[in-house]
């Protein structure tokens, strides 16, 4: 038997009244993975995370968190989950440091050394003694992350953690998440902006109107166009021949004697075989990569 997934969704559904917001959602997040949960506004990310945290019940399907079925297993498993969902609920009149101490006390108490270590980790080392009411949105987000990390969770659940962070802040958090993941923590992170998770995630699930539109790694998403730039002798003739093929109608001339064409199967070797069969010999076949942002928008565009 394979070891328990950090998170497993099996045909998960959520309805609010007649409205289905999450539909037949299935995927596994492996232990130690940094997993991106992507989708435009209203796609169902927060709703899914609230189910994972046992805050709302699934309407149908199964949900396993660290091997335990939710919401029944919540009491056993939630102490090992560090959540940051939407705006963190902080005490505005206390300092960041005292906020951490109060949340720590709820977990049975944490030493000040741990509090200060966390403040430094999220980049609030020099602002820890300021009242939270004076914090910017990005600073509150950082403090929320520190709260989520207090009890060294096995699974970190972050809903739009980049909210309010400037590019330098996003970068810092990214390296923090990488460090946590190399130390064995599983990170599940949602965003509506692909660029925010692009450089940190091993795999992503992309949601579109509550349904899974893509599951896998980002490099396959980038490379999944099936189009190749072929450098070939007699490029003009090759182009004529390609256009006459049932699969080659969209072939066009590329730069400097190249031809851009969709492979009959999506694979380079099958395109090469077809060309050779017709007596055209390629010097090189380079897969055309799709811009990731473009691919993400294509997968989700009907949303808007």
Ligand X SMILES: Nc1ncnc2c1ncn2[C@@H]1O[C@H](COP(=O)(O)OP(=O)(O)OP(=O)(O)O)[C@@H](O)[C@H]1O
Size of the site for ligand X (CB under 6 A): 11
Instruction: Give the C-alpha separation, 24 to 9, whole Å.
Output: 9
Position 2 contacts ligand X (CB under 6 A): no
Using the minimum distance from each CB to ligand X, give the nearer residue, 44 or 104: 44
How far apart, in whole angstroms, are the C-alpha atoms of residue 138 and residue 142?
6
21 binds ligand X (CB under 6 A): yes
Instruction: Identify which of residues 205 and 239 has a Cβ nearer to Mg ion in the complex.
Output: 205
CA nearest to 153, candidates 264, 260, 6: 6
Q: Cα(169)–Cα(51) distance, rounded to whole angstroms? A: 28
Q: Which two tokens stand for residue 215?
A: 């599951």
As a whole number of angstroms, the distance between CA 29 and CA 9 comes to 9
In whole angstroms, the minimum distance from the beta carbon of 269 to ligand X comes to 39
Helix (H, G, I), strand (E, B) or coil at 16: strand
Residues 133-192 that bind ligand X (CB under 6 A): 192
The binder of 14, among ligand X, Mg ion, none, by C-beta within 5 to 8 A per type, is none
Task: Determine if residue 56 is left, alpha or beta; phi over 0 gives left, psi from -120 to 50 gives alpha, anything else beta.
Answer: beta
Rounded Cα distance, 127 and 99, in Å = 13
Question: Is residue 39 at the binding interface for ligand X, with CB under 6 A as the rule?
Answer: yes
* 202 in Cβ contact with 221 (< 8 Å): no
State the minimum distance, in angstroms, from the CB of residue 184 to Mg ion.
27
> Between 32 and 42, whose beta carbon lies closer to ligand X?
42
Q: Which does 97 bind (CB under 5 to 8 A by kind): Mg ion, ligand X, none?
A: none
Binding track, positions 31-50, relative to Mg ion; x by CB under 5 A: --------------xx----
| Closest CB to ligand X among residues 86, 106 | 86
Is 63 a binding residue for ligand X by CB under 6 A? The answer is no
Question: Which residues of this chain interact with ligand X, rule CB under 6 A?
Answer: 16, 21, 39, 41-47, 192
């Amino acid at each position: 038997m394979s070891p328990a997934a950090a998170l497993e969704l099996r045909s998960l559904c959520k309805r609010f009244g007649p409205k289905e917001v999450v539909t037949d959602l299935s995927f596994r997040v492996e232990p130690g993975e940094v997993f991106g949960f992507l989708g435009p506004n209203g796609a169902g990310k927060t709703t899914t995370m609230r189910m994972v945290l046992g805050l709302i019940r699934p309407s149908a399907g199964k949900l396993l968190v660290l091997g335990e079925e939710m919401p029944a297993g919540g009491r056993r498993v939630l102490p090992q989950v560090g959540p940051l969902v939407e705006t963190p609920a902080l005490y505005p009149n206390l300092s960041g440091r005292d906020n951490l101490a109060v949340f720590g006390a709820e977990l049975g108490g944490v030493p000040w050394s741990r509090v200060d270590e966390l403040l430094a980790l999220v980049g609030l080392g020099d602002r820890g003694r300021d009242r939270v009411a004076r914090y910017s949105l990005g600073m509150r987000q950082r403090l929320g992350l520190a709260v989520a990390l207090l009890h060294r969770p096995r699974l970190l659940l972050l809903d739009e953690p980049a909210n309010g962070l400037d590019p330098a802040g996003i970068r810092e958090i990214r390296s923090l998440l990488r460090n946590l993941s190399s130390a064995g923590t599983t990170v599940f992170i949602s965003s509506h902006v692909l660029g925010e998770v692009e450089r940190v995630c091993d795999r992503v699930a992309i949601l579109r109107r509550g349904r899974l539109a893509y599951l896998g790694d980002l490099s396959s998403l980038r490379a999944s166009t099936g189009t190749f730039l072929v450098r070939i002798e007699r490029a003009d003739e090759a182009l004529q021949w390609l256009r006459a093929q049932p699969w080659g109608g969209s072939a066009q001339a590329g730069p400097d004697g190249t031809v851009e064409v969709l492979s009959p199967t999506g694979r380079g070797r099958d395109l090469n075989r077809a060309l050779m069969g017709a007596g055209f010999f390629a010097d090189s076949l380079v897969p055309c990569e799709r811009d990731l942002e473009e691919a993400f928008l294509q997968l989700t565009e009907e949303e808007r």
